[in-house]
Amino acid sequence: MRLALAAAGAAVALAGCGGSAESTAPVVFAASSLADVAPAVDPDATVVLGGSNDLAAQIRDGADADVLLSASARPVEELRDAGLLADPVVFASNELVLVVAKEVQAGRIEQLSDLAEGGITLVLGAEGVPIGDYARELLDRAGLAGEVNVVSLEEDVKGVLGKVALGEADAGIVYATDARATDGDVRSVAIPRELQPDVRYYAAAVDPPSEQGRAYLDRLLGPEGEEALRDAGFLPAP
């Protein structure tokens, strides 16, 4: 039997693995950046949002989920190696942008290199969190590693975006899709394509796959998923 435990409206732990034969609605653990996509694929699904690493840890600890949608390969690979996930598929990609707080004076942050200027504060995802790892790869490519003033580390992209929107940091690095969904709460600064890390999203059924998990993945990879991803601004899978 599926037992649901909800915390802060985002974390739900359910006893047992691989879904339940008693329910036809899938339980989908999805990266926070997929907040608009995961429910649109199947409105009947129970969607649990969070950092990809945190969601993977819940599955490892026995949470009852049918599908994992991860913003990076590492959590998926670790669970698959442990025999907890079926083979994954890449279903979308994304880009990073710099988001700037409204309080920052015009002209002060207009490109990535401006982050190295004195006094500018930056918020990133924590190490091991996909958005944090992608941001560090970006800063390395731009020659800015060790040159920026990081004042906060967050557990998911929503945390990064929230700090900037509230003016608690001058800037942050987030997915382009999340910046697009802020309705003007922050200003976005594009990052050159040659500096972009390879951001890929992975979907996998919890092993052994449930019927509802397979059905959800079919919808994600079909017209329903394509429309939801396109509407949210995601890029096609590489």
**Separation between Cα atoms, residue 14 and residue 2, nearest integer Å:** 6
For residue 169, give the 3-state DSSP assignment.
Answer: coil
pLDDT tens, 206-233? 999 999 999 999 999 999 999 999 999 9
pLDDT tens, 19-77? 544 568 999 999 999 999 999 999 999 999 999 999 999 999 999 999 999 999 999 99
**Separation between Cα atoms, residue 73 and residue 89, nearest integer Å:** 10
Which structural domains are found in the chain, ordered by start? 4-93+200-232 (3.40.190.10), 96-195 (3.40.190.10)
5 pLDDT tier (thresholds 50, 70, 90)? very low
Q: Please give the full DSSP string across 116-132, using - where no structure is assigned.
A: GSTT-EEEEEPTTSHHH
pLDDT tens, 127-154? 999 999 999 999 999 999 999 999 999 9
